Structure 1
Amino acid sequence: MTATVPYRPRTAGAPVTMKLEQVSRWFGNVVAVNDVSMTIGPGVTGLLGPNGAGKSTLIHLMSGFLPPSSGTVTIDGETTWHNESIYRRIGLVPEREAMYDGVSGWNFVLSNAKLHRLPDPQAAARRAIETVDMESAAGRDVGTYSKGMKQRIKMATALVHDPDVLLLDEPFNGMDPRQRLQLMDLMAELGRNGRVVLFSSHILEEVEQIAAGIEVMVAGRHAASGDFREIRRLMTERPHQYTIRSSDDRALAAALIADGSTAGVELGRRSGTEILNVQATDYNRFAHRLPVFARERGIRLYEVTPADESLEKVFSYLVSR
């Protein structure tokens, strides 16, 4: 019989760090995750990548439900695999349902509270259900729930033991716009309270809207890390697209064409206003020289806007590398 691990409430304000060091996982000859290293701290982090990129496998490795073939996964130095006590610190919302249709939402969450041997499982279950706004439907069988309601009740089971780390695999699947916004607000609040909140997605706008940090997975590899603007700035070999409005676009265009920081300059119009579309191949030089050119020629800069800073552009570039 396995010894019961004492319940350890989360210490408010204590920093939490999840670390993956050279983690790989293969299934026979198939390599699902290849030599991934990353450090994830408190706040909301998005795990971005196309379907089949290895996101779900990575979350299973982080949660301790799958052993790495090589490398280590730790939370504050404790390994997640074969470490029963670490499950007190992790909440998991899997993509697959894995639910019992004939059980009520209340009993489903309460059972999880009891499995964690919480001091007051009923109070914990009630608090978790209130957190995800499912009080009115808690008495109904899970089989009667919509996809979005099932996602929320799974969220309640993941939160019932007040974990340090919350891992969510495609949590917005099946949710309507209102439910998505509610879940985004909840995740942001949990992150502000010091938890590590990591969620996977292949929907670019979801990650861009909520995640302070982004970890990009492509074909089982860790392709990039940071926020989407930081990732974009690292890609100096790909031209940066800018839209510029100034008091003399033609004079500014002539100066930029003569400079080595741009690959293309094109005069255009937007809503009846003349604009300048610029491809900057040397980001640092362009950022330095543009205001110099304007000052030397007495040109006023009204607008300098990155035209390709969306996460979709960043992601498309990473996939094509």
Structure 2
Amino acid sequence: MSQLELTNVSRWYGNVVAVNDVTMAIGPGVTGLLGPNGAGKTTLLAMMSGFLAPSAGTVTLDGASVWRNIEVYRTLGLVPEREASFGYLTGRQFVVANAELHKLPSPGAAAERALEVVDLVEPASRAIGTYSKGMRQRVKLAAALVHEPSVLLLDEPFNGVDPRQRMHFMALLTRMGEDGRTVLFSSHILEEVEQIARQIEVVVAGRHAASGDFGAIRRLMTDRPNQYAVRSSDDRALAAALMRLPSVGGVGLQGRRGLEVQVTDFGAFALALPGLAKQEGITLREVTPTDESLESVFTYLVSS
């Protein structure tokens, strides 16, 4: 079980600051790295994988610096967004070459295992230059997995992947996280992140904006009212009663969809609602937060 740690990490290019004083820890499980385009995600992944030196601060894997430390590649795998020009190699040759670089005792057998994991055994004898974008993503993943790393870093791994391949990718990353590996992937498709990673790290304009379970992050945003969808046996009567609660900022009738409730104090609302409904003789049928999705949390963080 491995852990990546960044401590006061910055990276600048001349007068341009790409990453500014970021501190975070990435442990076992699946973590999503989020941020708008140009936020610094790729720069962070490059420093975590040891391909780019921090201008300030430290990046360590299990306590050891990753910069100029080839030993970290025994336990670390990287799937970059950019593609190297190896179109003349077959998929199998490319993965075997990576196994040989890791000095594995049986490069061929290790390559076959990795190709099987990413469902690429059959087309592995074809040149990479003939592959679709999704197949090129899979062969890069096979190369990163060939030495069975305990830490896997992926930069936009779902780009160009068809729906069936995407589901396979998601299941694979989920399984790796459940097995205790440390998996960090960046993505601009929030729905994909939400399906496989409750833990998120958010960077905005090079700064670390938030860290943790995105539902918990949302509940800590006390400056923004929580939104709830509420349905009951008598929505109009419940709306009138809710407006008497100090923890409720507003109530809107949504016809058959029930009520839309703005809550200014999540804890007080959760405690008061059941008692209020019982007092009014109203049966609660649904109480659902509508802005605890990853998309809502991300939007709030980026716009704040």
TM-score bucket (shorter structure):
over 0.9
- Tell me the SS of whatever aligns to 1:166: strand
Count of aligned pairs:
304
Give the structure 1 partner of residue 301 of structure 2.
Answer: 318
- Contact 1:19-1:37 at 8 Å conserved across structures: yes
**Which residue identity is paired with 1:311?**
L
1:301 is the counterpart of 2:284: yes
- Contact 1:53-1:220 at 8 Å conserved across structures: yes
In the TM superposition, what whole-angstrom CA distance separates every residue of 1:117-161 from its partner, at most 9, and x where no partner exists? 111111111111111111111111110000000000000110011
Distance 2:104 2:45 in 1: 25
1:20 is the counterpart of 2:3: no
Which of 248, 266, 278 is the equivalent residue of 2:252? 266
Give the structure 2 partner of residue 63 of structure 1.
Answer: 49
Mapping 1:177-216, distance limit 5 Å? 177-216=163-202
Call closer, same or farther: CA 1:74–1:120 in 2, change over 3 Å: same
Report the more deviating stretch, 57-66 or 306-315. Answer: 306-315
In the TM superposition, what whole-angstrom CA distance separates every residue of 1:15-68 from its partner, at most 9, and x where no partner exists? 211111111111111111111111111111110111111110010011011111
- Tell me the SS of whatever aligns to 2:38: coil
Give the structure 1 partner of residue 21 of structure 2.
Answer: 35
- Tell me the SS of whatever aligns to 2:138: helix
- Tell me the SS of whatever aligns to 1:289: helix
- Contact 1:246-1:302 at 8 Å conserved across structures: yes
In the TM superposition, what whole-angstrom CA distance separates every residue of 1:243-290 from its partner, at most 9, and x where no partner exists? 1112232332222212221221122213xx6x1211111212211221
Which of 38, 53, 57 is the equivalent residue of 1:52? 38
**Which residue identity is paired with 1:305?**
T
Report the more deviating stretch, 58-67 or 183-192. Answer: 183-192
Distance 1:44 1:223 in 2: 19
Unaligned runs of 5+ in 1: 1-14
Distance 2:198 2:259 in 1: 31
Which of 274, 290, 297 is the equivalent residue of 1:291? 274
Give the structure 1 partner of residue 141 of structure 2.
Answer: 155
Give the structure 2 partner of residue 226 of structure 1.
Answer: 212
After TM superposition, what 4+ stretches of structure 1 lie above 6 angstroms from structure 2? none
Give the structure 2 partner of residue 88 of structure 1.
Answer: 74
- Contact 2:198-2:214 at 8 Å conserved across structures: no
1:138 is the counterpart of 2:121: no
TM-score, reference length from structure 2? 0.97
Distance 1:235 1:23 in 2: 26
Distance 1:68 1:227 in 2: 27
- Tell me the SS of whatever aligns to 2:243: helix
**Which residue identity is paired with 1:276?**
L
The alignment-based identity, stated in percent, is: 65
- Tell me the SS of whatever aligns to 1:179: helix
Distance 2:268 2:7 in 1: 36
User: Aligned-pair distance for 1:99?
Assistant: 3.4
- Contact 1:242-1:305 at 8 Å conserved across structures: yes
Give the structure 1 partner of residue 95 of structure 2.
Answer: 109
Mapping 1:116-135, distance limit 5 Å? 116-135=102-121
- Contact 1:134-1:153 at 8 Å conserved across structures: yes
1:240 is the counterpart of 2:226: yes
Distance 2:280 2:118 in 1: 58
TM-score, reference length from structure 1? 0.92
Unaligned runs of 5+ in 2: none
**Which residue identity is paired with 1:151?**
Q
- Contact 2:10-2:21 at 8 Å conserved across structures: yes
Distance 1:48 1:255 in 2: 40
Distance 1:49 1:123 in 2: 38
